A and B are shown apart, each in its own frame.
Chain A
Amino acid sequence: MQNAVEIDSLCKDYGKLQALKNIHLKVPEGTIYGLIGPNGAGKTTLIKALVGALKPTSGIVKVLGMDPLRDKWKLRMQIGYMPQTPSLYDDLSAKRNILFFGSAQQIPDLERKTGEILAFAELTDRADDLVRNFSGGMKKRVSLCCALIHQPKIVFLDEPTAAIDPHLKLQLWKMFRQLANSGVTLFISTHLMEEALLCDQVAILRSGEILIVDTPLKILERGKTTVLISENGVTRESIIDSNPESLATELHRFGLNEHITSVKLQPDDMEDIVLSIIGKKEKQ
């Protein structure tokens, strides 16, 4: 599998502030790559460096084999970008917004493609309504349509699900998966740890530094599990790691007898694990 994005030793300084510190990343084509981190971690800065909206202080960035600054205009025909804020014209309809941003690329058959993308985002019924009358979630969907209208090979989405309801969040993630299945690479930043589970690969970013890059499952394995065993009305608590052998060892200590009335496992969730990774790094 080829890499859609390759970043080597990327640094970005704003005066004395180091926004990005020696970033190394490889994003395989056709995957959903999650960039997870708290607010101010440098996620937006990294995305802007990838779309050529920002000049890195040092390091090499390649997107689809091109330099985002040197090959800016050629690259922009092949990338989609959904900013954190909707960045739409409120006085235009959903359809007109998509047509306007799509027109920049001189796409053939733009009207038909706009209709298709509106249907994909389940916005056909509201296509001619002004964006100013849309809810935050609907604006996000229009914004996504604007990023996808020219059928890009890679889409950069900056906090696409921030401040929207769980139902719409689910809908958006369904769309992201559909896109990835069709071969599009998605680079998604989020501060919502549970969304990491929906990605194929995840990088955790804190204070401009990549702390860990792995699959969500592997990251989950780094978590701890709390075992609560109740025997003769007394509950004992012990903490084990995620290996199945560790649970067996813990149970052997007690032996499974009739006095054990319940065994409860409380594994760490993604948020606990990410916070513990960030916390460990902060202590170092």
Chain B
Amino acid sequence: MNTLIIARRVIKQLQGDRRFLALSIIAPLIIIYFLKLLFDAFSSPFPITDLMIPISAFILHFLCFILCAILLVQERTRGTLERMLISGYRQSSIIGGYTIGYLGLATIQAAAVLFESLWLFKLDYSKETILILFVVIWLLAIVSVMLGIFISTFARHEGHVFPFIPLIILPSVFLTGLFIDVNDLPGWAEFIGKCLPLHYALNIIHEIIKPEYSLSNTYLDFAILTGYIFFLWVMASVTLRETA
């Protein structure tokens, strides 16, 4: 019950913050358009079909993480997080409420990013593939929201969120299989890459965009990605502090 009350509050907050909403939806679309310009400028053909959906997933992962972390840190700096807890809302309700509240936005973001990529880069996938891609990107967005909430615990103000970008987000670019296969990395780097949730989302995407894919090859990755949601929920519930 309290989870839904907080979710309603988050939705209202998002609706009221037009600048935040615009940034959340328009920014990834602009970045993808810039990528289109970049890839078009290359003289030799670029493996767009293999790269574009994984890159789109990463962009959304990054934005959901950072925006949600900042929202939670704002709650902390304004004192409303502390007040919520002292009023009787529990950590798990707050995290659940935030996630559900953000779900609508994450759905719009995932759909917008996916359809823009398909349209701009003229990627021709079956309806089933597109649906699975949407589900993966959507799940990744939820994981990113959870990760943002978890990281917000370690930040006293909005600026403290940024050091986590080189710590968590940038390694995802290099070590999770976005540009190269993780198996080609040194053992320790491969281990780090496999600890990051983007790796499992990319595994699914790489499989699904194959002309002849097998859905059963993605079950484990889907399970791990979903497991990340529960793991981060528990971690964030345990670590969400009341005071700055």
Q: Which residues of A contact B (CB under 8 A)?
A: 48, 51-54, 73, 76-77, 79, 81, 83, 85-89, 91-92, 100-106, 146, 150
Contact = CB atoms under 8 A, between A and B. Distances in A.
Interface in B202-244: 242-243
Contacts of A91: 12-13, 16-17
Contacts of B1: 106
B26 interface: no
Contacts of B16: 91
Contact of A92 (B5, B12, B17, B78): B12
Contacts of B189: none
Nearest to A81: B86
A101 B83 contact: yes
Contacts of B88: 73, 76-77, 104-105, 150
B89 A104 contact: yes
A86 B82 CA distance: 12
Given A83-B79, A104-B87, A146-B87, A89 B13 contact: yes
Contacts of A102: 87
A105 B85 CA distance: 11
Q: Which 9 A-B residue pairings sit nearest by Cβ, starting from the closest? A: A87-B79, A104-B88, A91-B16, A104-B87, A87-B83, A53-B242, A101-B87, A104-B89, A81-B86
Contacts of A106: 1
Interface in B129-173: none
Nearest to A105: B88
B135 to A, nearest CB: 32
A104 B243 contact: no
Contacts of A54: 242-243
B87 A83 contact: no
B21 to A, nearest CB: 13
A102 B84 CA distance: 10
Interface of B: 1-2, 5, 9, 12-13, 16-17, 78-80, 82-90, 242-243
B210 to A, nearest CB: 46
20 contacts: A48-B243, A51-B86, A53-B82, A53-B243, A76-B88, A81-B83, A81-B87, A83-B83, A86-B79, A87-B78, A87-B80, A88-B80, A89-B13, A91-B13, A91-B17, A100-B9, A102-B87, A104-B5, A104-B89, A105-B88
A44 to B, nearest CB: 10
Nearest to A86: B79
Contacts of B243: 48, 53-54
Given A52-B86, A53-B86, A104-B88, 15 more contacts: A48-B243, A53-B85, A53-B242, A54-B243, A76-B87, A81-B83, A83-B79, A89-B9, A91-B13, A92-B9, A100-B9, A103-B2, A104-B87, A106-B1, A150-B88
Nearest to B81: A87
A77 B9 CA distance: 21
Nearest to A45: B243
Nearest to A99: B5
